[in-house]
Amino acid sequence: MEHINKMHYITHSLADYPIVQQVEDVCKGGCMWVQLRMKQASTDERLATALEIYPRLKRYGAKLIVNDDVYVAKVVDADGVHIGAEDMHPADARHILGPGKIIGCTANTLEDVLRLSRYDIDYIGVGPFRFTSTKEKLSPVLGLMGIHRIVAAARAQGVHVPLIAIGGIMSGDIHKLKETGIYGVAVSGAIHNAADKVAACQAIAALLATDHQLLTTDHALSKK
């Protein structure tokens, strides 16, 4: 699991905050993992942006994960791809990208996690934690208890794939999320909505740097 970072930044297409600047800011703030997400863009637009940010990320030693578009990830030689529930099958993505690349998938239920964990993938994004306007076709919101139950049940059934909480996560949520046993978090608005993007990123990275404290009962978690 060492190659999976605990903090994932997901880009968002904003008129007043270009993705190139987002990448620069989060890398300055200590984020070593950027998922390029451009849902409404064409393949050519996505490819052009990926080619533009890739050398910037490499200067910081950060990873580039391309959301959904396996072919762009292949052309750019990105570090990997993140596949949504309605996107390419993970086995097909592995065949295209090869054994050395990172493949992440999205899950909303324990059944999703158990099914996906059977494939040759590297992490699973579990969410959404809460409502988020950055994602269309939002799956049912899980909340803290929902994520805790999925993580606990998955671990009890022998799932060792890193689970990343995703969906509307803010810095104030991270302490409680860590107590669910989640491996890491994916953030977007928590950084790009902050007045000081670099400082916001640094704060989240610092929160994730401490050890997890896994709670084993719903009762203990509900007292928080």
**Residues flagged as binding site:** 35-39, 67-68, 87, 106, 132-135, 168
3-state helix, strand, coil in the chain (%, to 5): 40, 15, 40
Q: Which of 189, 179, 213, 201 is nearest to 133 (CA)?
A: 189
The amino acid at residue 220 is A
Mark the binding-site residues for Mg(2+), compressed into ranges: 68, 87
Spatial separation of the C-alpha atoms in residues 127 and 124, rounded to whole Å: 10
With left for phi above 0 and alpha for psi between -120 and 50, is residue 168 left, alpha or beta? left
Spatial separation of the C-alpha atoms in residues 76 and 176, rounded to whole Å: 37
Spatial separation of the C-alpha atoms in residues 94 and 80, rounded to whole Å: 10
Tokens of 88: 């390419």
The amino acid at residue 164 is I
